[in-house]
Amino acid sequence: MLILRCPAQLQLLEETLRKSLPTTLPVLGTVMTVARGNPASHEVLVDSWPHFGIVLTRLRPEDHRDPRDYYTNQLSVFYRDKGALQALLEGTEAVTRERAFQLLGMQDGLDEAVQEVASARGLKVE
């Protein structure tokens, strides 16, 4: 996953996400916050740039306080393709099994994809 830090990239991403409202709302707010100074210490990750399949926003790893606190470890996601979501959940450093987390998104199929990956790993999902 690539971390977007460049203001031009963040602005282009923001414009792209606005075209797909309301499903992009969980990530759009964080993208806007990061582009405008990032007072909350979040980061914006994409699988590729500029043609991304998935956008993930999260608190910077160094700012995580408690690996068991799923509320603090919130991840917001928007994906264009369900395969990109499954790839993210199955094998990237962006989502690790060492931390409890809460995944926020508004797209159909998100819950099913999370359940499939969790079942394959033998993990409990609440």
Taking the CB of residue 46, how many other CB atoms lie within 10 A of it? 19
Is residue 45 in some structural domain?
yes
Confidence at residue 73, expressed as pLDDT on a 0 to 100 scale: 76
Confidence of residue 96 (pLDDT cuts 50, 70, 90): low
Number of domains in the chain: 1
Q: Is residue 66 part of a domain?
A: yes
- Distant-in-sequence, close-in-space partners of 90: CB < 8 Å, separation ≥ 6: 117, 120
Q: What is the pLDDT of residue 85?
A: 80
Is residue 98 included in any domain, yes or no?
yes
| Residue 126 covered by a domain | no
Average pLDDT for 69-94: 77
92 lies in a domain? yes
Q: Above pLDDT 70, what percent of the chain?
A: 82
Residue 116 forms part of a structural domain: yes
Q: pLDDT (tens digit, 9 = 90+) per residue, 32-76?
A: 999 999 888 899 999 999 999 999 998 887 766 666 766 667 788
Domain limits at 69? Answer: 2-121
- What is the pLDDT confidence band of residue 94, given thresholds at 50, 70 and 90? low
